Structures are given as C-alpha cells and as structure tokens.
Chains A and B, each alone.
Chain A
Amino acid sequence: MLQGQRWLSYWQRLRAEFPLPWTVFWAGLLARLLIMPFATHSDFIHLEWISACTAAKGESVFRMQILLVYFHTAYQRLVSFLLPSIANLCGSFADFNFTGTSDWFIFINRPQVFRELFVLKLPYLVFDVACALLLYRLGKSKKQAAFLFKFWWLNPLIVFATYFFARHETITLFVILLSIYWFKQNRFERSFIALGAAVALRYYALFLLPFYVLSLDATWKQRLKWFALGLGPWAAVNGMTWLFFGSPEASRLATYPTEVYVLPMKFSIAAWDNVYIFPLLYFLLLLHRFYNREYGLRALQRYGLISLLLLFATAYVGQSPHYWPWFIPLLALEAAEDRRLAPLHLVLTLCLFAYSFIGSRSTAGYLLGAIAPDFFWSLPSPIEWIGGFFSPETAISLAHTAFSATALWIAFLVFRQLQPPPLADSTETA
C-alpha cells in the first residue's frame, strides 16, 4: 500500500516537473499504433528471419552489425510466448531473398502477421519514446523542451522509417542521444562509451566520433583516451567475432557496397583516380573543426549535423528510408536554437518522400501489403503515375537535387553560425 502511494507521488511529481505536451504524445502514439501491425518492408522481415533462424537452430551467425541480430534474437526468445508462430518463420524460407518481392509476399500472408509485426516492433516503440524523452530533457527551457519533443514525436521521417519501413534505427539513435545527454552533463567517459556502443550498432556513428573528440578543450593525451573509449565497444565486438568466428566483424565491411551508397558522387580524374565528394567535404569540415577554438555541446551538435547533412546530400539514400532519421536528433537540437531550420526540415521531408519514389512499389503500396495483399501489391507507386506524363528518372533526380540543395543550405546556415578559425599569430602581433 505504502509502496503504491510512494509510486503515485513520484509519478505526480514527475508530471508536475516535466509537463509533457500530452496532446502531442497521445496523438503521436495513436499514429504509431495505427501503423505498427500493418506495415513492413522486406529488410525487416530479412532481419527477423535471420534472428528466428539463430534462435531456432541455436547457431551463431556472422554478419555486419552483429549486435543488432543478437538483440532481435534475444527479443524473439523473450516474447516467444506471445508469438507461437515465430518459430516456423525460419523454416518458411530456405534463404530469404530480401531484394525480391516473392518472399515478402509470403510473409505478409502469414495468419498471425499483424500480431508478429506489432510485437516485433514494440522495442522500436520503446526506444522511440526514450529518444523523445531524452530530447525533451535536453531542452534548455520548458518551451524548448516541448519543441524538441514535438520535433521528434510528430516527425514523419521517424514514423515512416520506424513503423512503415519497420527498421531499428531508434535503437542506435537512442544511444547517440544518450551520449549527447552525458556530454552535456560533462560525463565524458560515459558519453564516449555510449557513442562507441552506437558505432558498434551502426557504423555511421563513426562519422561523429572525431567531432566529439575535437569538441572538447583538452590535452591530446585526454583526447586519445576518449577516442579509444569511443572505439572501445566496436573493438570489443570485433574481438569477440574474431574469437568466435575467426575473423573480425569489420572484415564484413568489405562486402558493403560503399561505392553505391556512400561514395557515388565523385570527380573522375583519370582511370582508377577519383576525388570523392563526401570524403572531401568531410575532411574539410574536420580541418575546420581542428583549427576552430569553439568547444562544447553546441559546437559538437553543429559539426555533427553538418557532417551528416553532407553525407545525405551526396549519398544514395532514396531507396533506404531507414537512413533518413540519422540526422534528426542533431537537427532537432539545432532547430530548437534556430527556428529557421524547422520549415527547411519540412522541405527536406517532402523532398525525401518524393526521392523515395525511386523504390517504386517497394517504398509505396507494398509497405501496407499485410492489410490486403492482392490489392496493395497491385497498387501502382506514385512514380508509375508520374511516368505517364514525365520521365520518372528525371522526376526522381529532381527530387534528389532539391533534397541535396536543401540539405546543403541547412548545412551552410549552421556552418555560418560557427566561429571562423583564428588567423593564427599574425593578428596578435599586429
């Protein structure tokens, strides 16, 4: 009884101290719940199939981002009592073909598909809520906290990537937000370990690590220590895979089509000689960071955001909407300070949705196939409709161009806020 009263008073105190915008919370939750059991992409099914096979056969798998596979395997085991049919998922496909659509069609016709989609997406919802709450806590005032919460919780990119596309990005984003939270609280060891965990989960977090290290006014010895801490969890995962599988996880990176996704934009100098645009811009930004004397969270979030926007402006991400949320937390934090970025984010979102037409039906009607498979499988994608009037390739490329322009414009606006590096000693002597 007493325990119950204590919890009640704690809950009341929490509500009084942090008055969440409840209207937004319930509306956002309703939107998420409405989508959860009915939408999926074959990428999600592929991961769940691998996890089901790992759970069913008890065999270890050696894959890129192995932590996420084991996370899903453990979760499937945990909720197996809720999903009696999940055990047969492994046997349903000899080798799940996630680039085709026939196995996807077979999955969405499973008798308990709604339950399976709902329960398997529950961890994403938990991490999604946790991300929103962490962003809320990162606000400097009540007003800013409410803005940050709404920016995340009503963000169509988050909803699309996590619930329609059914991908696990909220897990990594939560860990990144945690590292930002601890960075803000000057708990740098924790912050770097959390960032390291994010790198172990999703490699893209590695792009942020140099900015974390260089955004601290510290000696090089300390910076080296933090850099090592930031790489520690990933190194540990690599050590484990090397021990159990005879080869480090990083070796799987060789199978990743980097040229297709990360480095497609380039200047061809000669045969076998290219200048890649994203690495070029990234190194320039890194040099700017190196010579800049601006330290702290604000500098970190600005440099981090610019680097991710540069990546998105130059990379191939149209068919992979699950990558889209990567820049959302940093953009939210920056938009909370500079409200001009909020409408630009809206333009970015519209461009990304138009760019996603590149996936044709796989990023349109197929996502809702579980509701009525034959109907949604027959539904033409918007690009097929556009194709009746205009070249689909040109339409998609224009959307991508507009997206890149907006991303670069936001990056420029944020970059302009950064203090220019000092002009060395000449000014002092003058």
Chain B
Amino acid sequence: MIAGDNMSARSGKIFRITLRLLALLATLACLAACTLENIAARQEKASQLWPELVEGESYGQTFVSQRANLYRIDLGTATYMRVNSAEVIFHLRADPTAAEDLATRIIPAAEIQNDRPTSITFPPLPDSQQRSYYFFLESPEAHPGNAVTVYANEYDQYPDGTAFRGGQAVDGDLVFTAYSQETFSPGDVLSVFWGRLRQDAPFAALYGLMLLGVIVQCCRAFLKPNSNDQN
C-alpha cells in the first residue's frame, strides 16, 4: 500500500515537472524569433560561361530588390574544375556610376563553387525594397589558368537589370539570386493575424461563435460517444 502511494506520488511529481517543462518550452518558443529569407531578385537561366575573370576585368549585374533587408547574393560560378588561388572581390553599389561600395567582400578562391551558386553575404540593407543595385566581381591577381568565371545568359532574361563587363553594359544577364532576410517572432505573426481578423470584425465574431459551437458539440460527443463512435 505504502509502495503504491509512493509510486503515485512519484508519478504525480513527474507529471508536474513535465508540465512545467512544457510550459517553459512554450514560453521560449513564443519569445524566440526566427530569421527567414526571401528571394528579392532572380535570374536563373544560363546559356554560357563568360571567359576567365582575370586581372583588369570585372563582371557585374544591375537588379532591383523586391524586398527590404537585402543580405545575400548567390552567383552562378565555375572554377573549370581546378584549384584556383586568386581571390575574388565582390562589390555592391547603388548603381554602376557610384564610387562607394555599400558592401565589399573578399572571397578566397577556394570558396568559389564549380557549376553551383556561390553565396556572398553582407550586412542586411534595411531600405532595399524596390531599390536598384549594382554588384560586380573582380580578381586583381588572377591570370589565365588561375581564375574563376560566372554563368550568364546572352539574351535579356531579367528585365529589371543588365549584365556589365569591364564596367560597360552588355547584352544579357548574369545568373544570380538575391535574398532578403526578415526576423519574425511568434508574437509578430500573431499580431499580424489579429490585425487581419480585426479588419473584418463582423466575420471574425460570427466565425468565432461558430467555432465555439462546434467545439462544444465536439466535447459533448466525446463525453457521450455512441456505438458507432467506438466502431
């Protein structure tokens, strides 16, 4: 009997601890924010590789970011399946005539992907929505046989921008995807949802009442199941 009491006391304690842990997890989940990314601009169609990106050359592209917080550009690149050593410098500017970089990244040659996108990240640009940008790559120490290149399409595939070579606009577009990032907390999502429900208050009220009615019926049916419920 005493052993049985001890057992039930222990299981009760485990139950309470589990409940507290679940409550803690739920609170943490509510407080936690997740950062998600979105496509801000994209041109995926490749038709050719450009020549090696060597000293004195630069390859670039203009584009319009559809979203705020632009933070990453994935560029279609190739290494000719060899180990190159010349590093590549990435510049992001407001337009091809701008002198100042909004972001600069020096990319070791080993990080350049072969036949796959190379991701280049930079601090998010909060006011990037509907703004145009220009990025270009250069590789001042590269020479034929030790250089990388980019994928491009010779035809105009991306209407909001164009490719640049040596600082001059050329036909076609590079292969790229620009990403933005945004941070959402469950509170943000719920607040947006609540705001949207309030936009149509009469519907929300009726819908809520209907749900309540169905929940009540559901509980009643659970408490008094008929023979077919058990079948």
Contacts and interface: CB of A to CB of B under 8 A. Distances in A.
Interface of A: 19-27, 29-30, 33-34, 37, 111-115, 118, 142-143, 145-147, 370-375, 377-380
B211 A114 contact: no
A115 B218 contact: no
Nearest to B215: A30
Nearest to A36: B207
12 contacts: A19-B227, A24-B229, A30-B215, A33-B214, A37-B203, A37-B207, A118-B207, A146-B229, A146-B231, A371-B189, A372-B192, A378-B182
Given A26-B221, A33-B210, A114 B196 contact: yes
B178 to A, nearest CB: 14
Given A37-B207, A114-B204, A147-B231, A371 B193 contact: yes
Given A23-B222, A37-B207, A113-B196, 19 more contacts: A21-B228, A21-B231, A22-B229, A23-B221, A25-B221, A26-B218, A30-B218, A33-B211, A34-B211, A111-B199, A114-B204, A114-B207, A115-B203, A145-B228, A371-B196, A372-B196, A374-B182, A375-B36, A375-B188
Contacts of A114: 196-197, 200, 203-204, 207
A30 B36 contact: no
Interface range on chain B (Cβ under 8 Å from partner): 20 to 34
A12 to B, nearest CB: 14
B225 interface: yes
Contacts of B229: 21-24, 146
Interface string B184-215: 10001100110011011001100100110011
Contact of B228 (A19, A379, A380): A19
B38 interface: yes
Interface in B12-38: 36-38
Given A33-B210, A37-B207, A146-B228, A378 B218 contact: no
A115 B221 CA distance: 28
A378 B184 contact: yes
A26 B228 contact: no
A99 to B, nearest CB: 15
B85 interface: no
Give the residue among A112, A145, A370, A375 with the most B Cβ atoms within 10 A. Answer: A375
A24 B193 CA distance: 29
A26 B214 contact: yes
